[in-house]
Amino acid sequence: MAEGGGVSLDGILIPAATPFDPVTGDVEIVNLRTNVRAWLEHPILGIVLGGSTGEAVFLERDERRALLAGVRAVIPDDRLMVAGTGAESTRGTVALTRDAAEAGADAVLVQPPAYYRGAMTPEVLRRHYHAVADASPIPVILYQVPLRFSTVEFSTGLVAELSEHPNIIGIKDSRGDLAALSDLIIHSRDGFQVLVGSGAALYPSLEVGAAGGILGVANLVPGWAGELHAAFRSGDHVRAGTLQEQMGPLHKEIVAALGVPGVKFALDRLGLVGGDPRPPLAPLPEKVRPRVLAALERAGL
C-alpha cells in the first residue's frame, strides 16, 4: 500500500555495491545489472544506487546518471529504484536529485552535509532539507549515516519536524540503536516510514514499528532479508526469528567489521560481481579474507 508521496517503503531494499572495471576503473554497469537481476529473483522491495555500500562518495555525477539509467531498465515497475543524492551543498543535492528523477528513480535517499559539521545546526539542516524536498520531483528519504563515518546526527526533534514536510516520506537510520529508532517512530508524524540500516537489528526494528530496511547484508543474502520481512508481516515470528539469527552474524562479521571491501569480496565468493573498491579504498587484505570465508561457511553459503 502506498504511503506518503505514493511510495511505500514496507520491505527490504538492497544498497547495491558498485562494480568497477579492474583495468580502467570505470563503473561496470553490465555487471551491476547482472547482480540486480539476481537480487530481484528474491522477495525484495527494490534497489538503492549511490548509497554508502555503493561507494557514492567516489562516484562522479555522470557516473551516477549512467548507473541509474542502466539499472532502471532491468527493474520492473512493481519494484523500487532509489537513488542516493546527498551532497555537501544544497545546490549540488538538488541537482543530483533532479538527475535521479529524470532517470526514473522512485525516491531519493539524502544524507546530511557534514564537512562543516560544527555549522550544521538543526536550523541549517532544516532549511537544507526543506529546500531539497521542495525542489525534488520525487519523494525524499532522510539518511542517518552510520556514526562511524564522518557525519552529523539528527536529533529526534529535527526528524519529527522534517517528517511534517509532505515530500519527506521516511528515514534510513543506520545508527544501530534500537531505542533511538523507536523514538523516531514514536515522535514522527503518522505515515512517516522508518527504515533500519543494520541487518543485525531487522527483526527487533520491525517489532517496534519500522517499515523495513536498507541493508548492506542483503547484497549477500537477499532471500533471507526479504523472507524475514515477509514472515514477520504474515505473523510467522518463529521463521522471522530464525532468519534473524542466521543473518545477524553475517552483518556483524562482514558488513560492520569489514565494510565495503568485505561485502565486495563476499559477493565475488557467492558468484556475483563485487570486485575491488575504487581507490583510495583498498581491497580486502589477504590475511583477512579467511574471516569472510569462515563467516560464509558458518552461514551455510
Is 71:82 a contact under the CB 8 Å cutoff? Answer: no
Active-site residue flag, 172:
yes
Q: Report the alpha-carbon distance of residue 238 to residue 244 in Å, rounded.
A: 10
- In single-letter form, the type of residue at position 101 comes to A
Greatest CA separation for the chain: 50
The CA angle 286-288-292, to the nearest 5 degrees, is 110
**DSSP-based three-state secondary structure for 170:** strand
Cell of 225: 532479508
**DSSP-based three-state secondary structure for 247:** helix
Looking at the DSSP assignment, which residues form a beta bridge with residue 143? 172
Q: Report the alpha-carbon distance of residue 150 to residue 279 in Å, rounded.
A: 18
Nearest to 259 by CA among 49, 22, 55: 55
Which residues are annotated as catalytic? 172
